[in-house]
C-alpha cells in the first residue's frame, strides 16, 4: 500500500527489531500469520529443489479479464501480499534475511468470452466475437491490441499505484509461446485419470461433451466445448469435430487449445509450482477438484484462504459483467488508499458490503488504528491492521501519525458549507481547529479535504434537508445559543461539548435521552440523522458560525 509514513512531515518512531517481530509472529493470531504458518509447516526447512537449493515460495493470484477489474480483484492481491509479508516475518533469520518469495498475478486471458459485459462500449463487436479467447478479441475501448490487454493494463496500473511487488503473467502468452506445452502433454498423458475426477461432478448432459482440453477452432477461432479424442499424447495431437462438423486432427500446443478452467488451474499449480493461492467461497468445490487433478499431474494443491464474497448495497454478489458494487476508482474518489486496504484486511472470512456508504467509517477507523500503533507493544502491533498494511511495500518502521480532523467531522463541515464549497474555504475553517493549518503540513488531511468535497457534492448534498425544530427542540436550541454567547471562540471542543450536554440533560426540554437531543441537533442544523461530536464541530465550524446556524434553524 502507499506509504503515507514517508510523506508526512512528522517523525515516525522506529519499529520493533526484526528479531522481536520474528518472536511475536510465531504466536500471533492475526489471520495473515495463521495463513503464513501453513507455508512454514509445508516447508519446515524452506522450499528447496532436489539438490537442496533454497527456492522462493510462490504466491499466486488469478484474474479473469472478461470485465473491468474491480475491488474484488484487487483484494486478492492485497490479502495475498499480507500473507506473503507475514511469511517473511515468520522466516527471518538471525541476520534479518527472510525466506525468498515471489508473487505472480496471473491473467486467464486465454479464456473464451462467454457473454458481453454490461459496462463496456461497442457491445455489438464483442457479441460478434463471443467464444473467442479474450486475448484475440479487439479492444472495444480502442486503446490496446485486445480486450484482455486493455483489462490487464487497468489491473497492472492499479497494482503499480499501490507499489505491490508482483510479476504479471499472461495465460495467453504462456499458451502461445509454448511455455505450457510440456504441461499440456502431461494433461494428455493423464487424460483418463482427469476425466475420472471430473465426470462424476457433472450433470449427465454435460458429461457427454466434457473434455479437459478445449481446442481452438482452426476456422472460427472460437474455443470449442466438444469431446476430444487423444491421438498421440507425446506429440500433443487430438481429434475433434470443428464448428462446421468436420473432423479435425490437430495439435493442442502453441496456443491451438486451452484447458477447462478447473484443469487449467491445476495445470498451472503443477507447472509453475504455486504454493499459495486464495479464492472465494463460491470456488470451494472447484478448489478441491483442482487439487486432486494437480496431484494426478505430479503437483500439489497450494495452501490458501477461502474468503467470503463482497456484496453490493442490495446484498447481491459483486460481478465484473454487471458492474455493480464499487469500482476501484470510485473508492479512491471518496476515500483514501489506506482506508481501502484497512477495509479489505478485516475479517476476510465474513461477507462484506461494498458501497460508498462504508467509506467514511473505514477512513476514520484506519487512522484510529494508525494512531495506536507506535505505543503498542510488538505483540499488539502484529494484530493491528495498519502494521500489516504498512509492510505490504516493504516499510518496516512504526507509525504514530494522527489525523487532526476525522473524516466524519470533515464531511459535516463540508455539508454545512454546501455543494459549492472549495478547498481553500475548507482550509480557512480548519484554521479554527488545526495547529499549523497549512495543506503542505498535512498532506494526508489535504487529500481528504478533496475527497470530502467530492463525497459531499455527489452523495450528501443531494440528500440533505434540514427540518424545522419542534417546540421543545427550539427551546433547547435557544438555550444552547444563549450558553454559547457566554463562551469565547477559543474555549475548545471539550468545553463546547460539555455545554451541549448540559443543555440536553435539562429536564425542562423533555428529551428522553441525550441521543434524542443530538438527533435533533443533527437534523435541524446539519440536515442529517447522524452527525459528529458537536463540541468538535463547533470548534471547527467556529462559535459565531454555529450561532448563526442555530439562528437559521430557529427562524425556519
The answer to whether residues 485 and 445 belong to one domain is no
Last residue of a domain, one of 460, 495, 522: 460
Written as one string, the DSSP assignment of 427-456 is HHHHTTTSTT--GGG-HHHHHHHHHHHHHI
Contact of 482 with 547, CB cutoff 8 Å: no
What pLDDT was estimated at residue 318? 64
Residue 368 lies in a domain: no
The answer to whether residues 439 and 501 belong to one domain is no
Most distant CA atoms of the chain, gap in Å: 95
Q: How many whole angstroms from its chain centre is CA 33? A: 19
Contact of 455 with 528, CB cutoff 8 Å: no
Residue 508 lies in a domain: yes
Q: Which of these, 481, 480, 469, 478, lies nearest to 524 by C-alpha position?
A: 469
What pLDDT was estimated at residue 94? 86
Phi and psi at 92, nearest 5°, equal: -70, 130
Report the distance separating Cα 306 and Cα 277, nearest Å.
9
Last residue of a domain, one of 425, 460, 495: 460
H or E element at residue 159 = helix 147-161
The answer to whether residues 439 and 479 belong to one domain is no
Domain around 505:
471-555
Report the distance separating Cα 255 and Cα 233, nearest Å.
16
Cell numbers found for residue 511: 428529551
What pLDDT was estimated at residue 396? 53
**Using N-to-C axis directions, what is the helix angle for 443-455 and 359-373, rounded to 10°?**
170
CATH assignment at residue 477: 1.10.10
Residue 209 lies in a domain: no
Across the beta sheet with 167-170, what order do the strands follow?
Answer: 57-63, 101-107, 167-170
Residue 536 lies in a domain: yes
What pLDDT was estimated at residue 355? 87
pLDDT in tens, the chain (556 residues): 544 333 333 333 446 788 899 999 999 999 999 999 999 999 999 999 999 999 999 999 999 888 776 777 789 999 999 999 999 999 998 888 999 999 999 999 999 999 998 889 999 999 999 999 999 999 999 999 999 999 999 889 878 888 899 999 999 999 999 999 999 999 999 999 999 999 999 999 999 999 999 999 999 999 999 999 999 999 999 999 999 999 999 999 999 999 999 999 999 999 999 999 999 999 999 999 999 999 999 999 999 999 998 887 777 776 655 555 678 888 999 999 899 999 999 999 998 888 899 999 999 999 999 999 989 999 999 999 999 999 987 655 444 578 999 999 999 999 999 888 999 999 999 998 988 889 999 999 999 999 999 999 999 999 889 999 999 999 999 999 999 999 999 999 999 999 999 999 999 999 999 999 999 999 999 998 888 899 999 999 999 999 999 999 999 8
Q: Which of these, 353, 312, 329, 343, lies nearest to 454 by C-alpha position?
A: 329
Domains contained in the chain, number: 2
Phi and psi at 101, nearest 5°, equal: -140, 160
What pLDDT was estimated at residue 5? 35
CA distance from start to end of the chain: 48
What are the start-end ranges of the H helices in 297-422?
Answer: 328-334, 337-345, 359-373, 378-381, 385-390, 407-417
Last residue of a domain, one of 460, 495, 529: 460
What pLDDT was estimated at residue 311? 81
Residue 510 lies in a domain: yes
Q: Which residue has the cell 468436420?
A: 246
The answer to whether residues 477 and 512 belong to one domain is yes
**Residues 6+ positions from 41 with CB-CB distance below 8 Å:** none
CA angle 162, 43, 84 (to 5 degrees): 10
Residue 119 lies in a domain: no
Distances (CA, A) of 351 to 318, 328, 389: 11, 18, 21
Residue 47 lies in a domain: no
Residue 224 lies in a domain: no
**Taking the complete model, does pTM exceed 0.75, yes or no?**
yes
Report the distance separating Cα 213 and Cα 224, nearest Å.
9
Contact of 551 with 543, CB cutoff 8 Å: no
Amino acid at each position: 500500500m502507499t506509504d503515507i509514513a514517508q510523506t508526512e512531515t512528522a517523525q515516525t518512531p522506529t519499529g520493533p527489531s526484526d528479531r522481536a517481530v520474528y518472536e511475536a509472529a510465531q504466536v500471533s493470531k492475526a489471520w495473515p500469520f495463521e495463513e503464513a504458518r501453513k507455508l512454514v509447516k509445508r516447508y519446515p526447512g524452506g522450499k528447496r529443489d532436489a539438490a537442496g537449493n533454497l527456492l522462493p515460495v510462490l504466491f499466486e493470484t488469478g484474474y479473469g479479464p472478461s470485465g473491468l477489474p474491480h475491488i474484488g480483484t484487487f483484494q486478492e492481491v492485497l490479502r495475498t501480499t499480507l500473507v506473503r509479508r507475514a511469511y517473511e516475518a515468520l522466516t527471518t533469520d538471525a541476520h534479518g534475511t527472510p525466506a525468498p518469495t515471489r508473487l505472480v498475478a496471473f491473467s486467464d486471458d486465454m479464456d473464451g468470452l462467454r457473454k458481453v459485459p454490461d459496462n463496456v462500449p461497442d457491445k455489438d463487436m464483442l457479441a460478434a466475437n463471443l467464444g473467442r479467447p479474450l486475448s484475440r478479441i479487439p479492444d472495444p475501448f480502442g486503446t490496446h491490441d485486445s480486450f484482455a490487454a486493455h483489462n490487464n493494463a487497468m489491473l497492472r496500473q492499479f497494482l503499480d499505484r499501490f507499489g505491490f511487488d508482483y510479476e504479471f503473467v499472461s495465460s495467453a502468452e504462456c499458451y502461445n509461446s509454448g511455455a505450457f506445452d510440456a504441461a499440456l502433454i502431461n494433461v494428455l498423458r493423464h487424460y483418463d485419470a482427469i476425466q475420472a475426477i471430473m465426470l462424476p461432478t457433472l450433470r449427465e448432459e454435460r458429461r457427454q461433451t466434457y473434455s479437459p482440453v478445449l481446442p481452438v477452432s482452426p476456422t472460427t477461432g472460437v474455443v470449442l466445448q466438444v469431446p476430444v479424442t487423444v491421438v498421440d499424447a507425446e506429440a500433443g495431437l487430438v481429434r475433434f469435430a470443428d464448428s462446421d462438423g468436420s473432423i479435425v486432427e490437430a495439435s493442442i500446443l502453441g496456443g491451438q487449445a486451452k484447458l477447462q478452467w478447473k484443469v487449467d488451474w491445476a495445470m498451472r499449480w503443477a507447472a509453475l509450482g504455486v504454493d499459495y493461492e486464495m479464492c472465494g467461497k463460491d470456488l470451494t468445490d472447484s478448489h478441491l477438484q483442482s487439487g486432486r487433478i494437480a496431484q494426478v499431474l505430479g503437483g500439489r494443491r497450494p495452501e490458501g484462504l477461502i474468503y467470503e464474497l463482497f456484496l453490493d448495497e442490495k446484498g447481491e454478489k459483486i460481478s465484473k459483467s454487471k458492474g455493480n458494487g464499487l469500482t476501484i476508482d470510485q473508492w479512491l474518489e471518496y476515500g483514501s488508499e489506506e482506508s481501502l486496504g484497512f477495509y479489505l484486511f478485516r475479517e476476510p472470512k465474513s461477507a462484506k458490503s461494498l458501497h460508498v456508504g462504508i467509506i467514511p467509517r473505514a477512513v476514520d477507523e484506519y487512522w484510529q488504528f494508525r494512531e495506536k500503533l507506535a505505543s503498542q507493544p510488538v505483540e499488539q502491533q502484529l494484530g493491528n491492521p495498519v502494521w500489516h498494511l504498512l509492510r505490504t511495500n516493504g516499510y518496516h518502521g512504526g507509525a504514530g501519525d494522527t489525523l487532526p480532523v476525522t473524516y466524519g467531522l470533515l464531511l459535516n463541515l463540508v455539508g454545512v458549507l454546501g455543494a459549492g464549497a472549495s478547498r481553500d474555504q475548507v482550509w480557512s475553517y480548519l484554521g479554527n481547529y488545526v495547529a499549523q493549518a497549512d495543506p503542505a503540513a498535512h498532506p494526508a488531511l489535504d487529500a481528504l479535504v478533496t475527497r470530502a468535497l467530492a463525497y459531499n457534492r455527489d452523495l450528501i448534498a443531494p440528500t440533505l434537508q434540514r427540518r424545522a425544530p419542534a417546540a421543545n427542540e427550539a427551546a433547547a436550541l435557544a438555550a444552547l445559543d444563549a450558553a454559547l454567547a457566554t463562551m469565547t471562540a477559543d474555549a475548545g471542543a471539550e468545553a463546547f461539548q460539555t455545554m451541549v450536554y448540559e443543555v440536553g440533560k435539562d429536564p425542562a426540554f423533555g428529551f428522553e435521552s441525550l441521543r434524542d437531543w443530538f438527533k435533533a441537533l443533527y437534523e435541524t442544523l446539519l440536515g442529517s440523522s447522524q452527525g459528529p461530536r458537536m463540541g468538535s464541530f463547533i470548534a471547527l465550524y467556529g462559535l459565531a458560525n454555529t450561532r448563526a446556524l442555530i439562528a437559521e434553524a430557529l427562524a425556519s
